[in-house]
Amino acid sequence: MEKAVSLILDGKSLSERIRGKIEEEIEFWASKGFRRPTLSVLLVGDDPASQVYVGNKERACKKVGIRSLVYRLPRNTTTEELLDLIAQLNAEEEVDGILVQLPLPPHINQQEVILAINPKKDVDGFHPENMGRLVARMEDGFVPCTPLGIDLLLRHHSIELKGKDVVIVGAGFIVGRPLSLLMLWREATVSVCHIYTRDIAEYTIRADILISATGVPGLIKAHMVKEGAVVVDVGISRVGDQIRGDVDFEGVKEKAFAITPVPGGVGPMTVTALLLNTLKAYRRRFGLSVENLL
């Protein structure tokens, strides 16, 4: 008997649906005379990938009716200059969210910059107060965008996490570490592999849900994946003129029950999660309930 075709976890179409709902809500508030939600985005330097990501965020905001103010700052901007701008935006009544695109140039103190953002405007969820809320399972914090986007995608497809073996490859600050906390929140058994893990395959082969966030194209091969697993690919690498994920899609899709494509999987969900976090920040500023955000 032929194996059924694996389920493609389409982040693009789910994003379109969620963004449609966000747009409706913003139009509703606008029709009642409320101002529009506003997101400030700070981009330092000219990293090509960051420029693409910021451009995507800007377009996505515009489409749903969020005002985005993008500050494109020169590479030689100092930590102090960045802190001054953040202080201004923290104080600005009309700014709901502040996002500093990472990575920052190496001469800038990233920790100081993240600590300077008002946690109530920290739509990236990187401030220790929001990371702490994630540990404490407090619903009113901000969950970092990629973990939140993955969670929305899995939930939409009714993929059970409770009691399941979730294996995360990559322990970075933006994805792997906060994602491990969110998966624990969802009551999964979580393993996190990183560059010092001796044999990654020993872990990945056990995963009911395998999530790779390393930026190493083609790292995850079919022999490392359990039959019937759910595979989530966070990697986005440029190889020649192609965009490649961490997962060898063609090989792995034969074994997986469900798999995210690259592009069109996690990428759009990350941007959608940012829009949701911005709407959450906006609702909180007006004392509106942050329940039923999705």
Does the protein bind ligand GUN through residue 278 (CB under 6 A)? no
124 is catalytic: yes
Q: Does 70 bind ligand GUN (CB under 6 A)?
A: no
Q: What is the CB neighbour count within 10 angstroms for residue 48?
A: 8
Provide, rounded to whole angstroms, the least separation between the CB of residue 99 and ligand GUN: 5
Query: Is the Cβ of residue 45 or residue 251 nearer to ligand GUN in the bound state?
Result: 45
- 130 belongs to the binding site for ligand GUN (CB under 6 A): no
Using the minimum distance from each CB to ligand GUN, give the nearer residue, 117 or 207: 117
177: phi then psi, degrees, rounded to nearest 5: -70, -50
Is the CB of residue 11 less than 8 Å from the CB of residue 149? yes
180 contacts ligand GUN (rule: CB under 6 A): no
Interface with ligand GUN by CB under 6 A: which range of 94-102, 112-120, 186-194, 261-269? 94-102
Interacting residue with ligand GUN among 14, 89, 99, 236 (CB under 6 A) = 99
Residue 127 CB contacts under 8 Å (≥ 6 apart), including other chains: 114, 115, 117, 119
* Residue 7 lies near ligand GUN (rule: CB under 6 A): no
Rounded CA-CA distance 7/156 in Å is: 13
Note the maximum CA span of the chain. Answer: 65
Binding of ligand GUN by 146 (CB under 6 A): yes
Out of 86, 145, 219, 275, the residue judged to bind ligand GUN by CB under 6 A: 145
40 binds ligand GUN (CB under 6 A): no
Q: By C-beta, is 14 or 100 nearer to ligand GUN? A: 100
Terminal-to-terminal C-alpha distance of the chain: 39
Cα gap 286→225, rounded to integer Å: 47
101 lies in the site for ligand GUN, by CB under 6 A:
yes
Tell me how far CA of residue 144 lies from CA of 67, 89, 175, 245, 269, in angstroms. Answer: 20, 20, 8, 20, 12
Instruction: Determine how many CB atoms are found less than 10 A away from the CB of residue 262.
Output: 22
List contacts with ligand GUN (CB under 6 A). 99-102, 124, 145-146, 174, 270
Q: Which residues are catalytic?
A: 57, 101, 124
